[in-house]
Amino acid sequence: MTRATIATPTKESPLLFEGLTWREFKAAEQLLDRPGYRLSFLDGVLEIRRMPGEPHETVKKRIAALVELYLLVAGFDFTPTGSMTLESVAGAVKREADESYKLAPGRVRPDLVIEVVFTSGGIDKLEAYKRLKIPEVWFWEDGVLEVYHLRYEGNALHYERVTNSEELKGIDLDLLLRCINMVNHVDAIKTFQQALVK
């Protein structure tokens, strides 16, 4: 039996404004502080996206429910930090993930951020998270999950695409993805939960 999966709507592109200083970005951010929009900044580029609709929110909340279920069962002392604002003046970057988690007490920044992609174009999200020194970044796009882990080589940082999470050791990403892509939320949670308690 083949299970139906979540449909993906047509992708939108964000508005991009180039050549801004950090100070100009912060001024624009105050002027554009309106419901329904999300602002990001990297290397002088201001990105303005409309807040996502129901399909995006459905996938985002599904991933959050499944990840949090795993974290509970696996015994993590975690804190969900949602779409908290992450910024660095020195890195000239501001970003809000769709979901984020501190995986142990006392963390300054999230250990894991998750992006649900229903848009195209825009700033380089991995570059933004690299400057924020986020250890692991997950992207769900068009029913596919990609995992990137931050590597340190001398003074240089880069993300490497990995097949297994290094922050959520032991999580079955294939099962997770199947459950994320299921149409029925309750079925997805129950399927994942049953696999975790075996």
**pLDDT tens string 37-59:** 778 888 888 888 777 678 888 99
Write the single-letter amino acid at 181.
N
* Burial class, 141, CB count within 10 angstroms (exposed 0-12 / middle 13-18 / buried 19+): middle
The tokens of 106 are what? 């006392």
Q: What is the pTM of this model?
A: 0.84
* pLDDT of 126: 94
Tell me which CATH homologous superfamily contains domain 15-196. tt1808, chain A (3.90.1570.10)
* pLDDT of 135: 97
Ranges of the chain whose pLDDT falls below 70 = 1-12, 52
* pLDDT of 2: 38
Q: How is the chain split into domains, by residue range?
A: 15-196
